[in-house]
Amino acid sequence: MTMLPGVTKANSGIDDITWNILGQTYVPKQHCEASMSWHASLPKGTFVPPHIHPTQDEFIYVLEGRFDLLLNGVEAYAEPGDLIRLPRGIPHGIFNKTDTTIKCLFWVAPTRRLYDLFWALHNLGPEANPADVVALSAQHEVDFLPPPEEG
């Protein structure tokens, strides 16, 4: 699949797709073999637990709100205008610990199987079985880390 020239308008996605990914809203803006981008809205209290993309570099440009991050075991944060760089193979988790919705633009390069993963996760809902989410993700080249041991 080759990227086509054009403009994906605000408030819409490619092919009018909107994914509900575990309580978060993802709207794909661009999709080709080399890269994929999507607008995301993460309501308060939502998160993506620590995981690794072994075959992709990932980026997040923060538009609104504040992310709390775990990057390779180190806590960090990002606010509007910040770019989060997540190199392939580096564990990372993103968290909305605020009382507002985070809005951001994600992209990955190359796309690999992420587009298909989002279709597989679409509408599973926030009460999805975590083991099912982990298994689906692993089949699509995203590896979730086990939860930290209780100390």
Q: Are residues 92 and 86 in contact, defined by beta-carbon separation less than 8 angstroms?
A: yes
Stronger pLDDT, 12 or 126, i.e. the higher one: 12
Question: For 72-110, how does the pLDDT look when each residue is reduced to its tens digit (9 = 90+)?
Answer: 999 999 999 999 999 999 999 999 999 999 999 999 999
Q: What is the pLDDT of residues 37-55, one digit of tens each?
A: 999 999 999 999 999 999 9
Residue type, 85: R
**For position 128, what pLDDT does the model report?**
85
Q: What is the pLDDT of residues 128-137, one digit of tens each?
A: 888 899 999 9
pLDDT band at 149 (very low <50, low <70, confident <90, very high): low
Domains and CATH numbers, the chain: 19-144 (2.60.120.10)
Instruction: Identify the residue whose tokens are 């308008």.
Output: 9
Segment 135-148, tens digit of pLDDT: 999 999 999 998 76
